[in-house]
Amino acid sequence: MSDDHTLDCNGVAGLLREVLAPDPTTTHRRCPDCGDTQPLGRHRAYRGAGVVLRCPSCDAVGAVIAEQASELVLHLRGALLVSRA
Amino acid sequence: MPPISRGFRGRRHADVDPARIPPGQYLTTDFPVLSAGPTPRTPLDRWTFSIDGEIDAVRRWTWDELLALPQETVIVDIHCVTKWSKLDTEWTGVSLDTLLDGVETEAEHIVAWCDGGYTTNLPLEDVMGGRAWIAHTYGGEPLAPEHGGPARLLVPHLYFWKSAKWVRGITLTIEDRPGFWEGYGYHDYGDPWREQRYWSD
Amino acid sequence: MTPRAPITWRVATVVAVVDETPTARSLVLDVPGWPGHRAGQHVDVRLTAEDGYQAQRSYSIASAPESPELAITVQVVPDGEVSPYLVEEVRPGDELELRGPIGGFFTWRVEDGGPVLLVGGGSGLAPLMAMLRHRAARGSTVDTRLLASARTIRDALFRDELGTLGPREGLRVAWTLTRETPPAWDGFTGRVDAEKLAAVAPPPDAAPRCFVCGPTPFVEAVADLLVQAGHDPRAIHAERFGPTGS
Protein backbone atom coordinates (compact mmCIF):
# COMPACT_ATOMS: atom_id res chain seq x y z
CA MET A 1 0.00 0.00 0.00
CA SER A 2 1.48 3.34 -0.93
CA ASP A 3 0.54 6.88 -0.12
CA ASP A 4 1.27 10.30 -1.59
CA HIS A 5 4.75 10.27 -0.14
CA THR A 6 5.85 7.01 -1.70
CA LEU A 7 8.41 7.21 -4.47
CA ASP A 8 9.33 4.44 -6.79
CA CYS A 9 12.84 3.28 -7.47
CA ASN A 10 13.37 5.84 -10.23
CA GLY A 11 13.12 8.66 -7.76
CA VAL A 12 16.05 7.34 -5.80
CA ALA A 13 18.01 5.96 -8.74
CA GLY A 14 20.92 8.27 -8.08
CA LEU A 15 21.26 6.98 -4.55
CA LEU A 16 21.01 3.39 -5.73
CA ARG A 17 23.72 3.96 -8.30
CA GLU A 18 25.92 5.35 -5.54
CA VAL A 19 25.56 2.21 -3.50
CA LEU A 20 25.44 -0.40 -6.27
CA ALA A 21 27.81 0.90 -8.91
CA PRO A 22 31.18 1.61 -7.30
CA ASP A 23 34.17 -0.70 -7.37
CA PRO A 24 33.01 -3.86 -5.63
CA THR A 25 36.41 -4.73 -4.23
CA THR A 26 36.50 -1.58 -2.09
CA THR A 27 32.84 -1.73 -1.06
CA HIS A 28 32.59 -3.00 2.51
CA ARG A 29 30.23 -5.66 3.79
CA ARG A 30 28.97 -6.02 7.34
CA CYS A 31 28.53 -9.69 8.23
CA PRO A 32 25.24 -10.50 9.99
CA ASP A 33 26.84 -13.56 11.60
CA CYS A 34 29.89 -12.07 13.29
CA GLY A 35 29.25 -8.35 13.01
CA ASP A 36 32.60 -7.58 11.36
CA THR A 37 32.88 -5.14 8.46
CA GLN A 38 35.41 -6.01 5.73
CA PRO A 39 36.05 -4.93 2.15
CA LEU A 40 34.59 -7.32 -0.40
CA GLY A 41 38.08 -7.45 -1.87
CA ARG A 42 39.21 -9.28 1.21
CA HIS A 43 36.44 -11.87 1.08
CA ARG A 44 37.66 -15.27 -0.07
CA ALA A 45 35.98 -16.40 -3.26
CA TYR A 46 35.16 -20.03 -3.99
CA ARG A 47 34.14 -21.24 -7.41
CA GLY A 48 31.54 -23.98 -7.34
CA ALA A 49 28.44 -24.10 -9.50
CA GLY A 50 28.41 -20.36 -8.89
CA VAL A 51 30.72 -18.17 -6.84
CA VAL A 52 30.61 -18.01 -3.05
CA LEU A 53 32.16 -15.08 -1.17
CA ARG A 54 32.86 -15.85 2.48
CA CYS A 55 33.36 -13.45 5.35
CA PRO A 56 37.10 -13.18 6.02
CA SER A 57 36.47 -13.02 9.77
CA CYS A 58 34.08 -15.91 10.33
CA ASP A 59 33.92 -17.80 7.01
CA ALA A 60 30.13 -17.53 6.80
CA VAL A 61 28.62 -17.18 3.35
CA GLY A 62 28.57 -13.45 2.53
CA ALA A 63 27.37 -13.46 -1.03
CA VAL A 64 26.60 -15.93 -3.77
CA ILE A 65 26.72 -15.15 -7.48
CA ALA A 66 24.86 -17.55 -9.71
CA GLU A 67 25.90 -17.16 -13.34
CA GLN A 68 22.81 -18.24 -15.25
CA ALA A 69 22.59 -18.35 -19.02
CA SER A 70 20.95 -14.99 -19.50
CA GLU A 71 21.42 -13.26 -16.20
CA LEU A 72 23.58 -12.98 -13.13
CA VAL A 73 21.90 -13.37 -9.78
CA LEU A 74 23.53 -11.90 -6.69
CA HIS A 75 22.41 -13.13 -3.28
CA LEU A 76 23.80 -10.93 -0.54
CA ARG A 77 23.78 -11.47 3.20
CA GLY A 78 24.35 -8.54 5.47
CA ALA A 79 24.84 -4.87 4.61
CA LEU A 80 26.97 -3.12 2.02
CA LEU A 81 28.77 0.04 3.04
CA VAL A 82 29.99 2.49 0.43
CA SER A 83 32.24 5.36 1.42
CA ARG A 84 31.12 8.80 0.31
CA ALA A 85 34.55 10.32 0.80
CA MET B 1 29.99 -11.59 -33.05
CA PRO B 2 33.20 -11.51 -31.02
CA PRO B 3 36.51 -11.54 -32.88
CA ILE B 4 37.96 -14.97 -33.48
CA SER B 5 41.26 -15.52 -31.69
CA ARG B 6 43.43 -16.88 -34.48
CA GLY B 7 44.69 -20.37 -33.74
CA PHE B 8 42.88 -20.76 -30.42
CA ARG B 9 41.21 -24.10 -30.03
CA GLY B 10 40.87 -24.60 -26.30
CA ARG B 11 41.51 -28.00 -24.87
CA ARG B 12 39.09 -30.13 -26.83
CA HIS B 13 39.51 -33.58 -28.31
CA ALA B 14 38.09 -34.75 -31.58
CA ASP B 15 38.45 -38.47 -30.99
CA VAL B 16 35.53 -38.92 -28.60
CA ASP B 17 32.02 -40.07 -29.43
CA PRO B 18 30.00 -36.82 -29.24
CA ALA B 19 27.03 -38.80 -27.94
CA ARG B 20 28.89 -39.04 -24.63
CA ILE B 21 28.97 -35.25 -24.18
CA PRO B 22 25.72 -33.71 -22.90
CA PRO B 23 24.46 -30.51 -24.54
CA GLY B 24 26.46 -27.39 -23.78
CA GLN B 25 29.40 -29.31 -22.33
CA TYR B 26 33.08 -29.36 -23.30
CA LEU B 27 35.47 -32.20 -22.72
CA THR B 28 38.34 -31.79 -20.28
CA THR B 29 41.21 -34.08 -19.42
CA ASP B 30 42.18 -32.35 -16.21
CA PHE B 31 40.06 -32.39 -13.06
CA PRO B 32 39.02 -28.87 -12.09
CA VAL B 33 38.61 -28.23 -8.38
CA LEU B 34 35.39 -26.46 -7.47
CA SER B 35 33.88 -25.88 -4.05
CA ALA B 36 31.64 -23.61 -2.06
CA GLY B 37 34.09 -23.17 0.78
CA PRO B 38 37.41 -24.15 2.30
CA THR B 39 38.53 -27.78 2.31
CA PRO B 40 37.57 -29.45 5.59
CA ARG B 41 39.97 -31.88 7.23
CA THR B 42 38.32 -34.54 9.34
CA PRO B 43 40.65 -37.16 10.79
CA LEU B 44 39.64 -40.68 9.81
CA ASP B 45 39.37 -41.79 13.42
CA ARG B 46 36.59 -39.25 13.90
CA TRP B 47 34.91 -39.76 10.53
CA THR B 48 31.53 -41.44 10.30
CA PHE B 49 28.86 -41.79 7.64
CA SER B 50 25.23 -41.73 8.78
CA ILE B 51 21.80 -42.35 7.39
CA ASP B 52 19.22 -40.49 9.45
CA GLY B 53 15.86 -38.73 9.13
CA GLU B 54 12.82 -40.81 8.16
CA ILE B 55 14.29 -44.07 9.32
CA ASP B 56 13.51 -46.33 12.27
CA ALA B 57 17.00 -46.05 13.73
CA VAL B 58 20.01 -43.99 12.65
CA ARG B 59 22.59 -46.06 10.83
CA ARG B 60 26.20 -45.09 11.22
CA TRP B 61 29.50 -46.49 9.98
CA THR B 62 33.01 -45.60 11.02
CA TRP B 63 35.71 -45.38 8.39
CA ASP B 64 36.88 -48.92 9.06
CA GLU B 65 33.31 -50.22 8.98
CA LEU B 66 32.71 -48.52 5.64
CA LEU B 67 35.83 -50.09 4.15
CA ALA B 68 34.75 -53.51 5.43
CA LEU B 69 31.56 -53.38 3.37
CA PRO B 70 31.43 -54.74 -0.19
CA GLN B 71 33.32 -52.32 -2.44
CA GLU B 72 32.70 -51.53 -6.08
CA THR B 73 34.94 -49.98 -8.68
CA VAL B 74 33.14 -48.13 -11.45
CA ILE B 75 34.21 -46.15 -14.49
CA VAL B 76 31.84 -43.29 -15.20
CA ASP B 77 31.57 -40.00 -17.05
CA ILE B 78 31.04 -36.89 -14.93
CA HIS B 79 29.50 -33.58 -15.96
CA CYS B 80 29.86 -30.25 -14.18
CA VAL B 81 27.31 -27.46 -14.49
CA THR B 82 30.22 -25.12 -15.27
CA LYS B 83 30.35 -26.93 -18.62
CA TRP B 84 33.22 -29.36 -18.35
CA SER B 85 32.77 -33.09 -18.76
CA LYS B 86 35.34 -35.71 -17.90
CA LEU B 87 35.03 -39.20 -19.32
CA ASP B 88 36.06 -42.59 -17.98
CA THR B 89 36.76 -41.58 -14.41
CA GLU B 90 37.46 -44.49 -12.10
CA TRP B 91 36.08 -44.56 -8.58
CA THR B 92 35.96 -47.11 -5.78
CA GLY B 93 33.44 -46.97 -2.99
CA VAL B 94 30.38 -48.43 -1.35
CA SER B 95 27.12 -48.46 -3.26
CA LEU B 96 24.22 -46.61 -1.63
CA ASP B 97 22.24 -49.79 -2.33
CA THR B 98 24.50 -51.56 0.18
CA LEU B 99 24.11 -48.79 2.76
CA LEU B 100 20.33 -48.54 2.29
CA ASP B 101 19.83 -52.29 2.27
CA GLY B 102 16.92 -53.18 4.50
CA VAL B 103 15.95 -49.59 5.24
CA GLU B 104 12.22 -49.03 5.38
CA THR B 105 11.09 -45.46 4.90
CA GLU B 106 8.25 -43.27 3.66
CA ALA B 107 10.82 -40.76 2.46
CA GLU B 108 11.08 -40.03 -1.25
CA HIS B 109 13.91 -37.53 -0.98
CA ILE B 110 17.29 -37.21 0.62
CA VAL B 111 19.55 -34.39 1.66
CA ALA B 112 23.26 -35.20 1.59
CA TRP B 113 25.14 -33.24 4.26
CA CYS B 114 28.85 -32.65 4.56
CA ASP B 115 31.74 -31.35 6.58
CA GLY B 116 31.92 -27.62 5.95
CA GLY B 117 28.13 -27.33 5.82
CA TYR B 118 27.46 -28.12 2.16
CA THR B 119 24.20 -29.84 1.32
CA THR B 120 22.47 -31.08 -1.80
CA ASN B 121 19.09 -32.77 -2.33
CA LEU B 122 18.15 -35.71 -4.53
CA PRO B 123 15.22 -38.05 -5.04
CA LEU B 124 15.84 -41.18 -2.99
CA GLU B 125 15.38 -43.38 -6.05
CA ASP B 126 18.23 -41.56 -7.80
CA VAL B 127 20.73 -42.89 -5.29
CA MET B 128 19.48 -46.43 -5.67
CA GLY B 129 19.61 -49.03 -8.40
CA GLY B 130 23.36 -48.90 -8.83
CA ARG B 131 23.50 -45.17 -9.51
CA ALA B 132 25.28 -43.79 -6.43
CA TRP B 133 28.26 -44.54 -4.22
CA ILE B 134 30.16 -43.20 -1.26
CA ALA B 135 33.48 -42.99 -3.08
CA HIS B 136 36.83 -42.91 -1.30
CA THR B 137 39.25 -43.80 -4.08
CA TYR B 138 39.76 -42.03 -7.37
CA GLY B 139 41.95 -43.37 -10.15
CA GLY B 140 43.25 -46.05 -7.79
CA GLU B 141 44.49 -43.50 -5.22
CA PRO B 142 42.87 -42.26 -2.01
CA LEU B 143 40.55 -39.39 -2.89
CA ALA B 144 42.42 -36.10 -2.41
CA PRO B 145 40.93 -33.62 0.07
CA GLU B 146 40.51 -30.97 -2.63
CA HIS B 147 38.35 -33.43 -4.59
CA GLY B 148 36.23 -34.38 -1.59
CA GLY B 149 38.40 -36.80 0.34
CA PRO B 150 38.23 -38.81 2.51
CA ALA B 151 34.89 -39.61 0.84
CA ARG B 152 32.32 -37.97 -1.38
CA LEU B 153 28.93 -38.86 -2.73
CA LEU B 154 29.17 -39.96 -6.36
CA VAL B 155 26.03 -39.65 -8.49
CA PRO B 156 27.34 -39.40 -12.04
CA HIS B 157 24.01 -39.32 -13.87
CA LEU B 158 23.35 -35.82 -12.46
CA TYR B 159 25.42 -32.62 -12.60
CA PHE B 160 28.42 -33.01 -10.38
CA TRP B 161 27.33 -30.48 -7.74
CA LYS B 162 25.04 -33.31 -6.60
CA SER B 163 28.11 -35.50 -5.93
CA ALA B 164 28.67 -33.84 -2.61
CA LYS B 165 32.27 -33.56 -1.44
CA TRP B 166 33.19 -34.37 2.16
CA VAL B 167 29.89 -36.16 2.63
CA ARG B 168 29.14 -37.32 6.17
CA GLY B 169 25.59 -38.53 5.81
CA ILE B 170 22.25 -38.53 4.09
CA THR B 171 18.99 -37.52 5.70
CA LEU B 172 15.88 -39.22 4.37
CA THR B 173 13.10 -36.64 4.01
CA ILE B 174 9.41 -36.74 3.16
CA GLU B 175 9.51 -33.39 1.38
CA ASP B 176 12.05 -32.17 -1.09
CA ARG B 177 14.40 -29.76 0.71
CA PRO B 178 16.67 -27.65 -1.52
CA GLY B 179 20.35 -27.93 -0.71
CA PHE B 180 23.03 -25.26 -0.97
CA TRP B 181 23.16 -24.55 -4.72
CA GLU B 182 19.51 -25.45 -5.23
CA GLY B 183 18.65 -22.71 -2.75
CA TYR B 184 20.58 -20.24 -4.89
CA GLY B 185 18.66 -21.00 -8.06
CA TYR B 186 20.30 -24.09 -9.45
CA HIS B 187 18.00 -26.80 -10.74
CA ASP B 188 16.33 -29.05 -8.21
CA TYR B 189 17.10 -32.25 -10.16
CA GLY B 190 20.05 -31.43 -12.46
CA ASP B 191 19.93 -33.82 -15.42
CA PRO B 192 22.82 -32.92 -17.75
CA TRP B 193 21.10 -34.59 -20.71
CA ARG B 194 18.17 -32.20 -20.41
CA GLU B 195 20.56 -29.36 -19.54
CA GLN B 196 18.85 -28.69 -16.21
CA ARG B 197 21.31 -26.16 -14.82
CA TYR B 198 19.01 -23.53 -13.27
CA TRP B 199 15.55 -23.53 -11.74
CA SER B 200 14.04 -22.08 -14.93
CA ASP B 201 15.40 -24.81 -17.22
CA MET C 1 38.07 7.66 -7.74
CA THR C 2 39.14 4.30 -9.09
CA PRO C 3 38.32 4.02 -12.77
CA ARG C 4 35.18 1.93 -13.08
CA ALA C 5 35.29 -1.39 -14.88
CA PRO C 6 33.06 -1.26 -17.93
CA ILE C 7 30.95 -4.39 -18.16
CA THR C 8 31.33 -4.56 -21.89
CA TRP C 9 34.08 -6.31 -23.76
CA ARG C 10 36.48 -4.33 -25.92
CA VAL C 11 38.58 -5.64 -28.77
CA ALA C 12 42.30 -5.41 -28.08
CA THR C 13 44.99 -5.83 -30.70
CA VAL C 14 48.35 -7.29 -29.81
CA VAL C 15 50.99 -4.73 -30.73
CA ALA C 16 54.07 -6.53 -29.48
CA VAL C 17 55.11 -9.58 -27.52
CA VAL C 18 57.99 -9.54 -25.06
CA ASP C 19 59.48 -12.81 -23.88
CA GLU C 20 60.20 -12.23 -20.20
CA THR C 21 61.35 -15.73 -19.23
CA PRO C 22 61.28 -19.09 -21.02
CA THR C 23 57.72 -19.54 -19.73
CA ALA C 24 56.35 -16.01 -19.43
CA ARG C 25 55.58 -13.34 -21.92
CA SER C 26 54.19 -9.84 -21.85
CA LEU C 27 51.60 -8.85 -24.40
CA VAL C 28 51.54 -5.19 -25.31
CA LEU C 29 48.04 -4.23 -26.34
CA ASP C 30 46.30 -1.46 -28.18
CA VAL C 31 42.83 -0.98 -26.71
CA PRO C 32 40.82 1.80 -28.36
CA GLY C 33 38.99 3.85 -25.79
CA TRP C 34 40.96 2.44 -22.85
CA PRO C 35 39.83 4.49 -19.80
CA GLY C 36 43.09 4.19 -17.90
CA HIS C 37 43.80 2.11 -14.84
CA ARG C 38 45.38 2.06 -11.41
CA ALA C 39 48.47 0.04 -10.66
CA GLY C 40 47.39 -3.33 -9.30
CA GLN C 41 44.24 -3.71 -11.36
CA HIS C 42 43.66 -6.51 -13.80
CA VAL C 43 41.72 -7.29 -16.94
CA ASP C 44 39.59 -10.21 -18.02
CA VAL C 45 40.70 -11.67 -21.35
CA ARG C 46 38.33 -13.70 -23.49
CA LEU C 47 39.26 -15.89 -26.44
CA THR C 48 36.85 -17.26 -29.03
CA ALA C 49 37.64 -20.29 -31.18
CA GLU C 50 36.29 -20.63 -34.71
CA ASP C 51 33.42 -22.85 -33.56
CA GLY C 52 32.34 -20.31 -30.94
CA TYR C 53 33.95 -22.00 -27.94
CA GLN C 54 35.10 -19.37 -25.45
CA ALA C 55 37.54 -19.32 -22.60
CA GLN C 56 38.14 -16.48 -20.18
CA ARG C 57 40.94 -15.72 -17.73
CA SER C 58 42.10 -12.76 -15.63
CA TYR C 59 45.55 -11.19 -15.97
CA SER C 60 47.13 -8.37 -14.03
CA ILE C 61 48.10 -5.23 -15.86
CA ALA C 62 51.88 -4.97 -15.61
CA SER C 63 52.24 -1.56 -17.23
CA ALA C 64 52.14 1.71 -15.34
CA PRO C 65 49.02 3.88 -15.65
CA GLU C 66 51.32 6.53 -17.16
CA SER C 67 52.41 4.25 -19.98
CA PRO C 68 50.76 4.91 -23.35
CA GLU C 69 50.58 1.15 -23.94
CA LEU C 70 48.77 -1.48 -21.92
CA ALA C 71 50.73 -4.61 -21.07
CA ILE C 72 49.73 -7.84 -19.37
CA THR C 73 52.22 -10.50 -18.34
CA VAL C 74 51.19 -14.13 -18.71
CA GLN C 75 52.88 -17.12 -17.10
CA VAL C 76 52.39 -20.51 -18.72
CA VAL C 77 50.34 -22.78 -16.46
CA PRO C 78 51.36 -26.43 -17.04
CA ASP C 79 48.66 -28.12 -19.11
CA GLY C 80 46.76 -24.84 -19.14
CA GLU C 81 44.15 -24.07 -21.72
CA VAL C 82 44.66 -20.36 -22.29
CA SER C 83 48.14 -19.45 -21.05
CA PRO C 84 50.08 -21.66 -23.48
CA TYR C 85 48.14 -20.04 -26.32
CA LEU C 86 48.92 -16.52 -25.09
CA VAL C 87 52.58 -17.23 -24.40
CA GLU C 88 53.47 -19.50 -27.31
CA GLU C 89 51.05 -18.76 -30.13
CA VAL C 90 49.85 -15.15 -30.07
CA ARG C 91 51.58 -12.73 -32.44
CA PRO C 92 51.34 -9.01 -33.15
CA GLY C 93 48.16 -8.30 -35.08
CA ASP C 94 46.09 -10.90 -33.25
CA GLU C 95 42.92 -9.78 -31.55
CA LEU C 96 41.40 -10.76 -28.24
CA GLU C 97 38.63 -9.41 -26.09
CA LEU C 98 39.35 -7.51 -22.93
CA ARG C 99 37.25 -6.20 -20.07
CA GLY C 100 38.41 -3.84 -17.38
CA PRO C 101 40.19 -2.40 -15.54
CA ILE C 102 38.96 -4.41 -12.60
CA GLY C 103 39.65 -4.21 -8.87
CA GLY C 104 40.21 -1.28 -6.57
CA PHE C 105 41.10 -3.19 -3.46
CA PHE C 106 44.50 -4.29 -4.70
CA THR C 107 45.75 -0.94 -6.01
CA TRP C 108 48.36 1.60 -5.01
CA ARG C 109 49.01 5.15 -6.08
CA VAL C 110 51.91 7.36 -5.13
CA GLU C 111 49.37 9.59 -3.37
CA ASP C 112 48.51 6.73 -1.02
CA GLY C 113 52.02 7.07 0.38
CA GLY C 114 54.18 4.56 2.14
CA PRO C 115 56.06 2.80 3.39
CA VAL C 116 55.04 0.02 1.02
CA LEU C 117 55.89 -3.67 1.21
CA LEU C 118 55.40 -5.75 -1.91
CA VAL C 119 55.71 -9.53 -1.74
CA GLY C 120 55.28 -11.46 -4.96
CA GLY C 121 55.62 -15.08 -6.00
CA GLY C 122 56.01 -16.13 -9.63
CA SER C 123 53.60 -14.27 -11.89
CA GLY C 124 52.27 -12.49 -8.81
CA LEU C 125 54.98 -9.97 -9.59
CA ALA C 126 52.94 -8.55 -12.48
CA PRO C 127 50.62 -6.22 -10.54
CA LEU C 128 53.47 -5.28 -8.21
CA MET C 129 55.54 -4.37 -11.27
CA ALA C 130 52.74 -2.03 -12.34
CA MET C 131 53.02 -0.33 -8.95
CA LEU C 132 56.79 -0.01 -9.23
CA ARG C 133 56.63 1.25 -12.82
CA HIS C 134 54.05 3.80 -11.68
CA ARG C 135 56.35 4.86 -8.84
CA ALA C 136 59.16 5.26 -11.36
CA ALA C 137 57.02 7.21 -13.83
CA ARG C 138 56.13 9.66 -11.09
CA GLY C 139 59.70 9.94 -9.86
CA SER C 140 58.50 9.03 -6.39
CA THR C 141 60.93 8.18 -3.62
CA VAL C 142 58.30 6.63 -1.36
CA ASP C 143 59.89 3.95 0.86
CA THR C 144 59.10 0.78 -1.11
CA ARG C 145 60.45 -2.69 -0.51
CA LEU C 146 59.92 -5.68 -2.79
CA LEU C 147 60.54 -9.26 -1.76
CA ALA C 148 60.23 -11.37 -4.90
CA SER C 149 60.18 -15.14 -4.98
CA ALA C 150 60.99 -17.34 -7.98
CA ARG C 151 62.02 -20.94 -8.44
CA THR C 152 65.23 -20.27 -10.35
CA ILE C 153 67.03 -17.24 -11.73
CA ARG C 154 65.62 -18.05 -15.17
CA ASP C 155 62.08 -17.70 -13.83
CA ALA C 156 62.76 -14.42 -12.04
CA LEU C 157 60.31 -12.11 -13.79
CA PHE C 158 61.41 -8.54 -14.55
CA ARG C 159 64.69 -9.09 -12.74
CA ASP C 160 66.80 -6.97 -15.05
CA GLU C 161 64.38 -4.08 -15.01
CA LEU C 162 64.02 -4.30 -11.25
CA GLY C 163 67.76 -3.98 -11.00
CA THR C 164 67.75 -0.62 -12.77
CA LEU C 165 64.28 0.79 -12.03
CA GLY C 166 64.42 4.21 -10.47
CA PRO C 167 64.30 6.23 -8.39
CA ARG C 168 66.67 4.04 -6.36
CA GLU C 169 66.18 6.30 -3.37
CA GLY C 170 63.69 4.64 -1.06
CA LEU C 171 63.54 1.45 -3.15
CA ARG C 172 64.81 -1.93 -2.05
CA VAL C 173 64.51 -5.08 -4.17
CA ALA C 174 65.29 -8.48 -2.68
CA TRP C 175 65.03 -11.86 -4.40
CA THR C 176 64.68 -15.31 -3.01
CA LEU C 177 65.10 -18.40 -5.17
CA THR C 178 63.35 -21.50 -3.94
CA ARG C 179 64.62 -24.32 -6.11
CA GLU C 180 68.04 -23.56 -7.53
CA THR C 181 70.56 -20.74 -7.17
CA PRO C 182 73.25 -19.64 -9.63
CA PRO C 183 76.92 -19.54 -8.62
CA ALA C 184 77.88 -16.55 -6.49
CA TRP C 185 74.23 -15.89 -5.57
CA ASP C 186 73.99 -13.18 -2.94
CA GLY C 187 70.21 -13.09 -2.57
CA PHE C 188 67.99 -15.18 -0.33
CA THR C 189 67.44 -18.89 -0.74
CA GLY C 190 64.29 -20.83 0.01
CA ARG C 191 60.69 -19.90 0.62
CA VAL C 192 59.62 -16.58 2.03
CA ASP C 193 59.73 -16.94 5.81
CA ALA C 194 59.59 -14.76 8.91
CA GLU C 195 63.31 -14.07 8.80
CA LYS C 196 63.35 -12.84 5.21
CA LEU C 197 60.32 -10.68 5.80
CA ALA C 198 61.89 -9.19 8.92
CA ALA C 199 65.01 -8.38 6.93
CA VAL C 200 63.14 -6.64 4.13
CA ALA C 201 59.89 -5.26 5.51
CA PRO C 202 59.46 -2.00 7.39
CA PRO C 203 58.71 -2.67 11.07
CA PRO C 204 55.01 -3.00 12.00
CA ASP C 205 55.02 0.31 13.83
CA ALA C 206 55.88 2.06 10.55
CA ALA C 207 52.42 0.88 9.43
CA PRO C 208 53.37 -0.16 5.91
CA ARG C 209 50.81 -0.98 3.27
CA CYS C 210 51.45 -4.60 2.30
CA PHE C 211 50.56 -6.06 -1.10
CA VAL C 212 50.97 -9.80 -1.46
CA CYS C 213 50.37 -11.53 -4.78
CA GLY C 214 50.99 -14.97 -6.21
CA PRO C 215 49.61 -18.50 -6.03
CA THR C 216 47.03 -18.96 -3.30
CA PRO C 217 49.19 -21.06 -0.93
CA PHE C 218 51.99 -18.48 -1.23
CA VAL C 219 49.67 -15.60 -0.45
CA GLU C 220 48.05 -17.33 2.50
CA ALA C 221 51.43 -18.28 3.97
CA VAL C 222 52.90 -14.79 3.56
CA ALA C 223 49.80 -13.02 4.88
CA ASP C 224 49.89 -15.26 7.97
CA LEU C 225 53.57 -14.49 8.49
CA LEU C 226 52.95 -10.76 8.24
CA VAL C 227 50.14 -10.91 10.78
CA GLN C 228 52.27 -13.01 13.12
CA ALA C 229 55.06 -10.45 12.77
CA GLY C 230 52.68 -7.82 14.06
CA HIS C 231 51.45 -6.14 10.89
CA ASP C 232 47.87 -4.89 10.94
CA PRO C 233 45.68 -7.35 8.97
CA ARG C 234 43.75 -4.40 7.60
CA ALA C 235 46.90 -3.06 5.95
CA ILE C 236 47.48 -6.32 4.10
CA HIS C 237 46.08 -6.52 0.57
CA ALA C 238 46.19 -9.93 -1.03
CA GLU C 239 45.59 -11.11 -4.55
CA ARG C 240 45.48 -14.85 -4.99
CA PHE C 241 46.24 -16.31 -8.39
CA GLY C 242 44.51 -19.63 -8.68
CA PRO C 243 43.15 -21.98 -11.28
CA THR C 244 39.79 -20.93 -12.55
CA GLY C 245 38.26 -24.38 -12.13
CA SER C 246 36.24 -24.06 -15.29
Look at B5 and C243 and tell me if their CB atoms are within 8 Å: no
- Better-predicted residue by pLDDT, A69 or B93: B93
- The complex's ipTM? 0.85
**End residue of a domain, out of C86, C102, C118:** C102
Tell me: do C92 and C115 sit in the same domain. no
pLDDT at A67 over 90: no
Q: Residues of C with CB below 8 A from A26's CB?
A: 2, 104-105
pLDDT at C206 over 90: yes
CB atoms within 10 A of CB C242: 12
Which of the listed residues C70, C102, C134 is the one where a domain comes to its end?
C102
Residues C27, C124 within the same domain: no
Q: Does some domain include residue B118?
A: yes
Interval C132-144 mean pLDDT: 97
Tell whether the model's pLDDT for residue A4 goes beyond 90: no
% of chain B surpassing 90 pLDDT = 84
- Determine, yes or no, domain membership for C3: no
Q: How confident is the model at residue C1 (pLDDT cuts 50, 70, 90)?
A: very low
- Same domain? C160 vs C72: no
Q: What is the mean pLDDT of residues C114-126?
A: 96
- B184 and A50: CB-CB below 8 Å? yes
C54: confidence class by pLDDT, cuts 50, 70, 90: confident
Q: Is residue C175 scored above 80 in pLDDT?
A: yes
The answer to whether position B91 is within a domain reads: yes
Could you report the per-residue pLDDT of B28-53, keeping only the tens digit for each?
A: 888 989 999 999 999 999 999 999 99
Integer Cα distance of C124 and C149 in angstroms: 9
Q: Would the CB atoms of A68 and B197 count as touching at under 8 Å?
A: yes
Reported confidence tier of residue A68, pLDDT bands at 50, 70, 90: confident
Residue A71 has a pLDDT of 84
Q: How confident is the model at residue B1 (pLDDT cuts 50, 70, 90)?
A: confident
**Residue A44 to residue B186, Cβ atoms within 8 A:** no
Using an 8 Å Cβ cutoff, are B61 and B69 in contact?
yes
Smallest CA-to-CA distance from C27 within C128, C77, C96 is with: C96
In a shared domain, residues C70 and C41 = yes
Contact B173, B112 (CB under 8 A): no
Amino acid at B32: P
DSSP per residue, A58-75: T--EEEEEEE-SS-EEEE
Angle at B78 between CA B72 and CA B82, to 5 degrees: 150
- Those residues of chain B whose CB sits closer than 8 Å to some CB in chain A are 34-38, 81-82, 159, 161, 181, 184-186, 197-198, 200
C5 found inside a domain: no
Regarding whether C148 and C219 lie in a shared domain, the answer is yes
Question: DSSP string of B132-184?
Answer: -EEEEEETTEEPPGGGTTT-EEE-TTS-GGGS-TTEEEEEEESS----HHHHT
CATH number at residue C121: 3.40.50.80
The verdict on C220 and C192 lying in the same domain is: yes
Number of domains in chain C: 2
Model confidence pLDDT, tens digit, residues B149-191: 999 999 999 999 999 999 999 999 999 999 999 999 999 999 9
Task: Choose the final residue of a domain: C78, C102, C126.
Answer: C102
Q: What number of other Cβ atoms are within 10 A of residue B30's Cβ?
A: 13
Q: For C211-235, what is the mean pLDDT?
A: 94
Q: For the segment A9-66, what is each residue's pLDDT rounded down to a tens digit? A: 666 777 777 777 777 788 899 999 999 999 998 999 999 999 999 999 999 999 999 9
Domain that holds residue C84: 10-102
Range of the domain at B70: 18-30+46-194
CATH of the domain at B172: 3.90.420.10
Q: Are C27 and C214 within 8 A, CB to CB?
A: no
Specify if C1 maps to a domain.
Answer: no
Q: Is the dihedral of CA B144, B147, B150, B153 positive or negative?
A: negative
Q: How far is CA C227 from the centre of its chain?
A: 22
A to B CB pairs, distance under 8 Å = 46
